[in-house]
A and B are shown apart, each in its own frame.
Chain A
């Protein structure tokens, strides 16, 4: 099975900072990658699909890139409401594995 590895596992940044989270697949998955945001006690929310397509209603400060095995989620200007854990997920074929998550906090 393909493994999904996220880094870092946690980060602390200031409001307005540019934040980058990486996700690496153990084998190529083309662009079959999604990113989710999960705030404490809440249901995961889709942010990005097809590696770089922003879900409707998601702020434009979020962006995704990558293809094959290496992917990134970028928050261009971190806001207080972005405090959450972010997960990548492969969906090219089962099992639809998630990365381990990246917890984002405000410094």
Chain B
């Protein structure tokens, strides 16, 4: 049973960057895409981008292009999401989620527990 465990809550200043980690355990890591989804307070789910670790190339939602970087470390089964030039509107819970099946786009299952990022001066 695959589990995704994310890093802890962060408080950041506007203009800074944040890097959130997502460590997979209990299953194969490299062949399954990991996506990052965020949810601002009281708002819906927003896909930010994803990566298939074995290929190493990420794709991003247009809204976040140039500001988000998604990477993966196969040696530690950990994916990372770094968001730069933070503003107050980036205050949200950030989730990682894994594709259910390998090597093709799929529904997301499982999900990480979420990481709250608060951007405040």
Please report A residues at the B interface, Cβ cutoff 8 Å: 1, 32, 34, 36, 38, 43-44, 46, 49-50, 55, 85, 87, 89, 91-101
Contacts and interface: CB of A to CB of B under 8 A. Distances in A.
Interface string B36-47: 010000001111
B107 A98 contact: no
Give the dominant DSSP class at A's interface.
loop
B59 interface: yes
7 contacts: A32-B105, A43-B112, A44-B37, A44-B97, A96-B108, A98-B45, A98-B47
Given A46-B109, A98-B47, 12 more contacts: A43-B112, A43-B113, A44-B95, A44-B108, A85-B44, A94-B47, A94-B50, A96-B35, A96-B47, A96-B105, A98-B44, A98-B45
B106 interface: yes
B103 interface: no
B25 to A, nearest CB: 16
Nearest to A100: B44
Contacts of A89: 45, 47, 107-108
Contacts of B46: 98
Interface of B: 35, 37, 44-47, 50, 59, 61-62, 95, 97, 100, 105-109, 111-114
B45 A91 contact: no
A46 B107 contact: yes
A94 B114 contact: no
Contacts of B61: 94-95
Contacts of B35: 96
